[in-house]
Amino acid sequence: MSLGQRLEIRQGQGLVITPQLQQAIKLLQLSNLELEAVVEAELERNPLLLREDNEPDSPDTESDLPRDERGELELSDRDTQQANSDLDASEGDVYGDDEPTVREPVASSDIGDGPMIDWTRAGKGGGFDGDGDTLDRAMSREKTLAEHLMDQALIAGFSAPEMAVAQILIDAVDEGGYLRADLTEIAERLGCAMDLIEKVLTVCQGFEPTGVMARSVPECLKLQLIERNRFDPAMAALIDNLELLARRDLSALRGACGVDDEDLAEMIRELKALTPRPGAAFGAEPQAGVVPDVFVRQDPSGGWRVDLNSDTLPRVLVDQTYHAKVVTSARSDQEKTYLSECLSQANWLIKSLDQRARTILKVSAEIVRQQDGFFVYGIEHLRPLNLKTVAEAVGMHESTISRVTTNKYISTPRGVFELKFFFTSAIAAADGSEAHSAESVRHKIKHLIEGEKSSGEVLSDDRIVEILKEAGVDIARRTVAKYREALRIPSSVERKRMIR
């Protein structure tokens, strides 16, 4: 057998990752803050791009030109279909390893009709060239209190409902580290039991810095004393009578605490060593909350209305007037090529921004449709949902749905959630009907065990399996044990010992 060289012509199909396609894919997975930085850099780099401001400009600016002379990009149905194809790349492309894990509306969607957008006006903006600077700034600045608490929440072993509660509680912490929220209002908004809120708060109050997320100064001091193993009845009485300490009424304090002068002086010294503002070490600047990309509101007709947040949408135009001026003065082929590339890149950026917004709205509307029970009845009615289900419903690839739901937030009547919060695994139904969300099953298990206090019966894992199967949930004993351990609930044997 001889070896040799030869030339062959073969025909085949393949996905070519052009710079424009990479740009479109990258824009799709960016958060609203990252998108602003990207568009801002493009505005600085490309002279044919112009920010569309709502404020009146001088007579020479483009905003005073007739609409047909301005460079706004109008997309036809054919353009939209092409943009859909461009953005909906398969998981084999450059960013295929992403995984899934809230004014005035600019665009809205009724769930039944599908999202419709008028994009004759497309906020503020940023560029690909500035990504490194943005990352450097993010890495060099000090971590905020909210970020510090969220880092701890992510490793606290919370379930999805508990994580949603933790996020809301963390958002309500002020710069001093105190919790400024009504727990009853949060429970009503999420449609969950008050016990769940209190359980999550108890875990969060164990975060660093010690004393954080307290609801009052006495509670803050109490948490710090417990951490130092110094919270005894005498110290508890001292904390309950801080007004006497403020008036320097030491005789009344001695009587209230039941201690002598020496012990009281030592207790006061310990109290002075505590920190009444545990969050002050992270700076006094108030932290801005998460800016939602999508709003969900109840429609008067009984459904849900899905609107894009207009404040997060970059408004950029192609400055056709300036292009017409400079293109006539271009002499060399290099200058003409540069202007042609700038025009092409500007048009593509606007098209990519438009399709990014359309895709986010379309996917958000489908998620709201799928999780209607959660919005109406609460967290126990969270349905099992995965990327494939949403992808098939909207006619896109799973990797596209993954990008859309990463770092995108939705504001709902029950709070602000990341879109990937609504994706949860399924537990089969015993009667063959619709499957149950894993998160709702965890919630049921927790509710059953919490009911032991009133019934006096400690439920074994086998007994919980029987009760859930009677309720139509087909679940194995080992799954119950796994969920119970994830909820940090002891076994039935340990719970019996605790009762005794």
- CATH number at 451 reads 1.10.10
How far apart are alpha carbons 296 and 117 in whole angstroms? 16
The residues facing 179 across adjacent strands are 173
**One domain, residues 299 and 419:** yes
Average pLDDT of the residues in 146-156: 85
For residue 246, is pLDDT > 50?
yes
What is the distance of C-alpha 226 from the center of its chain? 33
For residues 317 and 343, give the distance between their C-alpha atoms in angstroms, rounded to a whole number: 11
Distance CA 291, CA 274 (A): 35
Domain containing residue 385: 294-424
Evaluate if residue 143 carries a pLDDT over 60.
yes
Buried-exposed string 358-373: b where 16+ CB fall within 10 A, e elsewhere = bbbbbbbbbbbbbbee
Average pLDDT over the chain reads: 75
User: For position 437, what pLDDT does the model report?
Assistant: 66
Q: What is the pLDDT of residue 147?
A: 83
In the numeric block, which tokens belong to residue 139? 């890495």
pLDDT over 50 (residue 61): no
70 within some domain: no
Is the residue at 336 inside a domain? yes
DSSP tag of 47: T
User: pLDDT grade, residue 214 (50/70/90)?
Assistant: very high
The torsion angles phi and psi of 424, rounded to 5 degrees, stand at -145, 150
Tell me the per-residue pLDDT of 407-426, one tens digit each, with 9 for 90 and over: 889 888 888 888 888 887 65
Note whether 376 and 403 are same-domain residues. yes
Render pLDDT for 260-309 as a digit per residue (tens, 0 to 9).
Answer: 888 888 888 888 888 888 888 775 444 555 788 899 998 888 788 999 88
| Same domain membership, residue 305 and residue 209 | no
Q: Tell me, what's the pLDDT at 416?
A: 83
Mean pLDDT confidence for 123-134: 39
Residue 249 lies in a domain: yes
Answer with the residue of higher pLDDT: 163 or 44: 44
- Which pLDDT tens digit goes with each residue over 28-43? 888 888 888 888 888 8
pLDDT in tens, 170-182: 888 888 889 988 8
CA dist 135 and 128 (Å) reads: 12
Q: Which amino acid is at 192?
A: C
Burial of 398 (0-12, 13-18, 19+ CB in 10 A): middle
Judgement on whether residues 416 and 493 belong to the same structural domain of the protein: no
Does an H or E element contain 427, and which? strand 426-427
Q: What's the whole-number mean pLDDT along residues 244-260?
A: 86
- By mean pLDDT, which of 396-400, 425-429, 456-460 is the weakest? 425-429
Examine residue 19 and state whether it is found in any structural domain, yes or no: no
Residues 367 and 443 grouped into a single domain: no
d(CA 356, CA 350): 10
Question: In CATH, what number is assigned to the domain containing residue 151?
Answer: 1.10.10.1330
Of the given ranges (62-71, 147-156, 395-404), which has the lowest mean pLDDT?
Answer: 62-71
Q: What is the mean pLDDT of residues 125-133?
A: 40
